[in-house]
Structure 1
Amino acid sequence: MKKLFFIFLLTLTYTINLTTNAEVRFVSKTGSSTPPYTSWATAADSIQKCIDISSFGDTIFVGEGTYREFVRLNEGRSLIGTGYDNCIIDGRTLGINSDTTNLIEIKDSCLISGFKIIVSNFFVSFYRGHAIWAHTDSTEGNYTSTIKNNFITQAYYGIRTNLIDAIITENIITECEVGIIFSLTFYSSDHYVSENIIRATGTSVKSGPGNKANIYNNVIYLESTTAKASVSNWELNFYNNLIISKGNSSRGVANSTFTTNIINNTFIGYTVIPILAHDNNVIKNNIIFNSGIGIDNDALNTTIKYNCLWDLIVISRPYPLDTTNIIADPMFADTSNEDYHLQMFSPCIDVGDPTIFDKDGSRSDIGVYGGPNGESYTYQNLDPRPPRNIHGEIIEENKVKIDWKPNSEADLFGYKIYRDSIANFSISPLTLISAISDTVFIEEYKAETNLYYKVTAIDSTENESEPGEEVTILLTGINEIEIKEKDFQLYQNYPNPFNPTTNISFHLDEPGFVKLIIYDAKGEKINQLISKEMGKGYFEVEYPAENNNNNLAAGVYVYSITITGKDKKIRHAAKKMMLLK
């Protein structure tokens, strides 16, 4: 019933294409393939067979099944599949191994919707061909075509077009070198790209001269070192997109000196340059989080205001940002599950451009969910994050020092310190010994038994985090410190990316022979930082890349730890880190 209703809505949406003589035709794996294919019973057994006898204004419904054929959709037709979960156009057996081959071609005034489109298994992406080539040879008339609700994969170009206008919406595009490309045109084009999920190994949306690109409400994943979100050589409106870098991508959004608006986007994860700005660019209300050079601005005639930047290698270059921009933790709801809505006390709420309004009429929030194209939602009052990098030491004969990395939430109020004489204890009012605003706690001890400490963070509304790692002070033997973990732990280096130095920390739950080694991306050994017996506890090693005799180049490196215990049991862990130059 849902499928029929969906098809009915699509048919109504595109009745503008219909003529008085328009027909509805059908393609199915179970029909009799009897022309003119005007019922499911007589449906064509080939998509192209049905197209070949169709006329301008016709709608062609395609039933479940896999269709291994090239498709050439003439002007003014609507081609609607039952859905990309069960209606597949598969080019993998058609010998597509050229960058000039198109699995599907559509002309102007067309709709294609509801298909999974698989182009090629060719191992070099450049020779996989293109999934959809939407084109026209004319410069007159109304040439808007719509590509909607398809799953496109394993192509060089996912969608390529030189139409005057294209509407590309609600598609999933993955395993393509270029997700969407607007080719060079000699007339003014106005394209709309919205509500797509794009995972391209190269550029997600690429726009050539003559194409005005309106890109909004998309989720764009950058998953390679050459990945880019959008590159444009003409006018660009880039609104309310979520850009998530999964690797060490080269660039987020880059545009020419034509009019460009980059507004209310959120950039997450390491990108060398999330935004590359030029003259006539307007960059407002964006969040740039955990990345490289926040905004690289090579021009003075650029508007950069009301952005939030946090956890970056460089905030901006070469020009500093004005005070409308904030340097603060945006306080996302749940980064581990890619939920980038703002928490209740986020510093990004109601502080965007005062001329831009949210859907509820209030001053705009900064980030992907702010502004008129954003969302209305309830801000959650969540607990702070647990304190991290907690360690302890005995600083005098009878004093214990516990310290940790500060939390960055805007509504942070302080920390609570808990202590017990039993390991793995549960925090409670009975074990609470102090509440402080600092990240260092010192106390005198009189006990002769071991002491165990836990630290939590509290905010201004008395929400309390889960405790961080448990710290053990051993007082019954030699003075020894340990971080109580379920096993040994290798932590992510900090900062990362780094230049010139970074800190590598780890915790040993028992003594052993430790080797800590740096490798390059090819697996070749660069440095051996540690090779010795070590006791249990928390340790931190500074790695100064600039003092390295190998003259390390920028790139990805691996640090690896191996522990051989007294029982000869060997344990291993490794993590990646990024060196910038």
Structure 2
Amino acid sequence: MKTKHFNFYLGILAILASVFLLGTETLAAIRTVGSGGAAPNYTTIASAMAAASSGDTIQVLPGTYYEDVVLTPQVLLFGSGPEQTTIHGTYSGTGSGSPAVLMAEGSMISGFRVTGGFVGISSWDCTSIIANNVVTANYHMGVSLIADADYSVVNSLVINNTIADNIPASGSEFCAGIYTEPQGAYTEASPIIMNNVITGHKFGISPYLATPKLSYNNIWDNWENYGYSSVPGPGDISENPQYTDSNYHLALTSPCIDAGNPGPQYIDQDGTVNDIGAYGGVAGPGYGDGFHTGSGFIFTSVGKIPTSEITQDDGDPSFGLANVSDKAAAIFRIPKYKDSPFGGNLWLHGLFGQSDNVAYYQILVGEWVGRNKPTTYVPLNDPLGKVRYTINPDGTVSHQYVNLGPKEISGIPSLYQLTTSGFWSHIDLRMIWNTRLWPNGKYTLVYRAYNGYLNRLRLPANDLDHLTIIVDNSPVDAQIHHVKYDPSSPFYDPGSDGEIPECGMIYLTHDQENLRFTITARHPNGYLKNYVLDALYGKNKYAGVIKSAAYPPAFYKPPFWYGIQEAQYNSADATSLDPWRRCAYQFRLRVYSRTTDGYHYIISKEFNDHYFLELKQCLADLDNDGDVDGDDLNRMADEFGSAACMP
């Protein structure tokens, strides 16, 4: 027997295209079911199917159709999407019964929610296409592919369906997502089962004596995912698909997204790799970022930093860090941030499309684990308020402080009211996120939108409807460990390596004499911005810089620069340090992190060390009058033998 392959599916699509291209000149007819459709119009799928001939297409408008559907050979049956078009079978829940949908040779079903049958969809003794359907809450089996009659062939293509939560019939424990079997003599059951999500059954896939070709399915959370010694096929996974609602939509972080067959003939409508499940593939809308209608949500800025200046390429070492271009820095008058993480209170700004009918929203955050994307997202709950202004008839302006969230409405927590019309402070501000309450790490922010009836809206995807940032609120370390004489100094003590005690007197023989400074200027996670060791003296006089360095240094591995740990520097090597003076000195070390809240750098530390510098070319000039004379000798005699020279 000759096995049928994927070309059958592609051929059906070609037939469909020819129907639309040839219009009335083709013998095939397009029949519409439901009110408001183009003639000929039918009120039931069964009546349209009874009138259909080979090659016809039946389009079903949104609604719930309480009937068992039996397809006609070579007829294509299209719904308006699983969220809008339901075939509800008539099975009573006891004994055996009819499938909600019975396929025929060369037929196709796509775009339905199929429920309420003894079996959801049955391809019995025929090869057919089952694509982009949600098959749920049927009894006994979600999809059955059985070759019963002698010499029959059931090599159907089951592609991009979500088959979930079908239940055993009364008095039975058996329930399979997909069951296939060659029952008759000389029969063949080698269906192609690809890009499907199968969850919530006793058996996910149950091939009894059959040889299905499995690939790129997500078979998860069944009592036994692979029955009758079947094994996963190429590209199969077994992970939580992350359903978001009763229509089995997927979260944007679902492992099913872009995980289907990568062949170009299976790409989603948005041009991205096939998404596993009912909403992926050529007949599904997909969840990727290649198609946009002009509506949707965009994170526009964090503080003053446009999101265009935050690296979002997950292959870039700077992924999640602010990298502001020269042009953006000039336009927005912000620092030219380089590989800067975020911290503090982040003002998250974003915009919805004007026609999106959004009344409420949530901002959710998920944490990365190593290089693994978030698997769960939790809504933020930081308080958000704004000022609403009203222009009164007499021209005066009044204002009101308005709490916009978080609110729980109709059991939905963490909702924020969207401000779109009227006069508001910070009209596009969506959240002030206190990141100090969260661990340092990499986070992805996403949104959810709701209309005024609290129905969740699924808006078209785009590159900036999610935002990944690095959060790091770590403090920096700044320490001046030691100030020491140079070994050439007459005051150098080898036992202490010339260390000068805190608040001590520093004796120098000339104004260019070298002092040694041991310092630490460090960021624990490698986000050091710069450090400066400088000197001040007298009444707010600046003596200059002893040592400084800034990111990026000459040798580093981007985006990390940890700084220095107990490193020693010589004042003699400084290029912008004034000569020493006889005066009180403050040695100051300032250390800065690259962390920003979107408005400025927010983390720094300062360390100060104080001394008095005494310049003496003649060490015996005890009275500091510029010469060594009898007065110095008398002072020496008066204090000779004293043991209390230090306080």
TM-score tier by shorter-chain length is 0.3 to 0.5
What TM-score, normalized by structure 1, do the two folds share? 0.39
Identify the structure with the greater strand proportion. Answer: 1
* TM-score between both structures, scaled by the size of structure 2: 0.35
